[in-house]
Structure 1
């Protein structure tokens, strides 16, 4: 006789028993179905067997004869009734809790057998009764259907936060972050919306890069770079390595 184990996945409870006789039966039913037409089953006049179609899937079942005996337990944990040992398996064969979840159990035998399944049928024959009528030995027959392994939970990809929108007052890359010293001034002509009076046009004229309008807005502490008024005087910073101020351009 060989000792085998059943692991109840919902509670991690392990049930130990003997496989007697030392054998088990494995049955497989292929996933096929009879080929049918609109009117019913297709006949095969010149064939001995009905035509079949592969439907996928199938059924694999294990039939086991198990032995539970209280005399094989060690004191002081010996059960007074062998049904205390087999009751967890009976519960798995009964209706489970609410919902469609199956009562999963895993059949374990050495390193060669590790089969997840559900109990389809169970029967029990009792022997060796105590004076109180409590049975001490049980011959239990079980039919176990194999089920797929539970899919491992997939790791949730790390949520990447989008980069914070860059403020229009941020300095362009490559600068030291310090406000540049004013080098020249310019007077706004118009309302700041015309081509000749917009900050991007002034930045292109002064530095050759319209993106430098942020520097002009930062130095002059402009809340809204589009709200400029005629006659407003703006300071133009001198940036070494970035460009040249209007005054330097005019001198050239």
Structure 2
């Protein structure tokens, strides 16, 4: 994420000073690649049963973004999940960002960049 604000200009209109704001996210190797930093952690995660009936649903609309103005059946606001952040959807469903592939596989999502919800959440087994 990058944002720049110009606050001083020369008489001809060219910028002389600006403020930059940048946000970086560290991305490691995939959890399913042996030797990756998350590989050992992923091996300790509880298994997800992709054949069992769903235990919950994750409200998602559009292309992976949560409808922040919609209400749950009990009248509360839906959980806020930023658009298309698969790790955050996995955290909401399982409490870890490493299981987003299983969440999409369970919901037969072929394109992680474009999908609609709600997403069904499969049950998790016991931790190894």
TM-score (norm 2): 0.42
State the structure with bigger RCO (CA 8 A, min sep 6), 1 or 2. Answer: 2
TM-score (norm 1): 0.24
